[in-house]
Structure 1
Amino acid sequence: MIVIERVGPAATVQDLGRPGWFHSGVGASGAADRGALRLANRLVGNPEGCAGIEVLLGGLTLRAETSLLLAVTGAPAPATLDGTPVGHASVLHLSPGRRLRLATTRTGLRSYIGVRGGIDVPPVLGSRSYDTLSGIGPPPLRDGGTLPIGPPPREWPIIEQAPLPGPDGTLEIHALPGPRDDWFTDPAALFTGHWSVSADTDRVGARLDRADGPALRRKSSGELATEGMALGSVQVPPSGQPVIFLADHPITGGYPVIAVVNDADIDRVAQARPGQRIRFRRAAGTG
């Protein structure tokens, strides 16, 4: 059992999502940075899809009620174990009563805590993820709450620490043009100059401001009929500020999608903080 003594800005339980429910109007949700959750689970010997804790900007404090093996990945929030600094993306042992504290992360947005055995809250539609758009799944963590831990797997961790990512800079994001790029006077403008992540970013999507380069302009003021929206869709509302859809995105929408981000780059967008610069690159083979 884990006791959440302090949540910080926000924290939720997330696994790799609940695909297969679009016909019922339910999106997949799941960890915004799927690679970070997978790594946390591998470090503690879990299957990659086990549920962990997604922590926004750090600030979380938890206490072990039983002996725990855990790892913190994703955004490198400075971590301490009973006041002693511990390494990021390393395997940590907490005996009963010990506390793990995450300070505010200086880079990235979301840290992930993987616990051996996984967070064992009841699944909803086959997933333990909380969807912030629909409210489906276990509620967000709160101060004083508890989390049950599942039975440990047979496998044991084979590494004690994973390599850390390099320093932040301009994110090079690869995207496939279309399917509605013909709605814009100059769709190539998306791939020209730089964008920056606005303060209006969450698990639903990252809205972008133009840092330099030409604006995105529509050919007309009309709207599309509602159509399906994929993870990574770059939707452009009338303001001309593109939104890259993330884990909790709506499954339909009426604004034109000028491009779709490569799946391999979506985790990197999920870690981009407000003010982070982004440059779009055409995906290989698209001209």
Structure 2
Amino acid sequence: MTDRALVVVRAGALTTVQDRGRPGYAHLGVPRSGALDGPATRLVNRLVGNPLEAAVLETTVNGCAVRPRSSVTVAVGGAPCPVTVDGRPVAWGAPVRVPSGALLDVGTVVSGVRSYVAVSGGIAVDPVLGSRSTDLLSGLGPARLADGMVLPLGTPDGIHARVDVAPQPAPPTELVLRVTLGPRDDWFTPEAVRTFTSGTYRVSSASNRIGLRTEGPALERALPGELPSEGMVLGAVQVPPEGGPVVFLADHPTTGGYPVIGVVCAQDLAAAAQAAPGTPARFVRTRSRLRPERGAGNRATSRNGPAPAHRP
């Protein structure tokens, strides 16, 4: 039994192991996955001296509690929350030394949704397809944390940042998502496209790692029926028949049959990961426009014929 490990005392509502994800396998139906708030993940890794690709813990709303079997340096970032070691308050957003056997408790968020916990050496679960990320859609990677689970740690190979505190952006009070229209905005009426880029939505409580769901004005279709399934990218805004835009996040499916009215700028997705239910959301149109692949056409079928539409 190694002493380079964490024992999970309180798993929290949804805590998973995440890193940069497993890009390059979409053609096999494997999502990228990875941490939803990339900047927060990179920062906490830097604070404890880890490489930027080291795996961390991603918590959801009410945090988690773990007990290291050896002395470690940790940093908590992302959504602000109280952090204690054996009941004593310690710094959030800064490196903290946790003695062997002490209880590190990451509490309920003050604002935002997801907090990130980096531990010196990184979470060293076995990688799958080059990544240690938990993928909730495909089931790849380690299981979500459960009470009593033991997580192995790697060997530290760096020096943690010598800072008192690291500034981090606050979770959004209004979510503004820059969006490039297309490739299927022509499946919607001109009025619907105007509504999409000028109306106000709210983040739905049904949002998860697969997609950020919104509540607000429904977008009316100009064309009936459904598309054959086609490739989906991170940030794609898919519109199901009920008309509410869904922004695809890290665990999104690689294909889908509902039309994509636009794609959100990648730099805005970290804020989407921290937008709590009820947060106002706006889609702001950029000047460019995505177009369907040449020869695809609105009525085209795939090489293997139409596939069933995906409901995220």
Q: TM-score, length-normalised on structure 2?
A: 0.87
Q: Secondary structure at the match of 2:206?
A: strand
Report the CA distance shift for 1:245/1:167 in structure 2 as closer, same or farther (over 3 A): closer
1:130-188 C-alpha deviation (Å, 9 max, x unpaired): 10000000111110111111011134424342114246421111111111101100212
Q: Aligned partners of 1:102 and 1:40: how far apart in 2?
A: 14
Bigger proportion of residues as strand: 1
Find the counterpart in structure 2 of residue 24 from structure 1.
28
Q: Secondary structure at the match of 2:204?
A: strand
Q: Is the 8 A contact 1:43 1:161 kept in 2?
A: no
* Structure 1 residues 35-50: aligned runs within 5 Å: 35-50=39-54
Q: Is the 8 A contact 1:205 1:243 kept in 2?
A: yes
Q: Secondary structure at the match of 2:51?
A: coil
Q: Secondary structure at the match of 1:201?
A: coil
Find runs of 4+ consecutive structure 1 residues off by over 3 angstroms. Answer: none
1:153 aligns with 2:153: no
* Structure 1 residues 62-73: aligned runs within 5 Å: 62-73=66-77
Q: Is the 8 A contact 1:216 1:240 kept in 2?
A: yes
1:207 aligns with 2:202: no
Paired residue for 1:228, among 221, 228, 231?
Answer: 231
Q: Aligned partners of 1:85 and 1:2: how far apart in 2?
A: 20
The percent identity for this pair of structures is 49
Q: Is the 8 A contact 2:177 2:283 kept in 1?
A: yes
Find the counterpart in structure 2 of residue 104 from structure 1.
108
1:75-116 C-alpha deviation (Å, 9 max, x unpaired): 112111111222221111001111111221131111110111
Q: Is the 8 A contact 1:67 1:95 kept in 2?
A: yes
Q: Secondary structure at the match of 1:234?
A: strand
Structure 2's unaligned 5+ residue stretches are 290-312
Q: Is the 8 A contact 2:112 2:171 kept in 1?
A: no
Report the CA distance shift for 1:155/1:200 in structure 2 as closer, same or farther (over 3 A): same
1:120 aligns with 2:133: no
1:194 aligns with 2:200: yes
Letter in 1 for 2:59: V
Q: Is the 8 A contact 1:57 1:77 kept in 2?
A: no
Q: Is the 8 A contact 2:236 2:262 kept in 1?
A: yes
Find the counterpart in structure 1 of residue 19 from structure 2.
15
CA RMSD of aligned residues (A): 1.4
The worse-fitting range, judged by mean Cα deviation, of 233-242 and 83-92 is 83-92
Q: Is the 8 A contact 2:171 2:275 kept in 1?
A: no
Q: Aligned partners of 2:95 and 2:260: how far apart in 1?
A: 41
Paired residue for 1:172, among 169, 172, 176?
Answer: 176
- Kindly tell me the number of residue pairs found equivalent between the two proteins: 283
* Structure 1 residues 265-280: aligned runs within 5 Å: 265-280=268-283
Q: TM-score, length-normalised on structure 1?
A: 0.95
The worse-fitting range, judged by mean Cα deviation, of 250-259 and 84-93 is 84-93
Paired residue for 1:163, among 152, 164, 167?
Answer: 167
Max Rg structure: 2
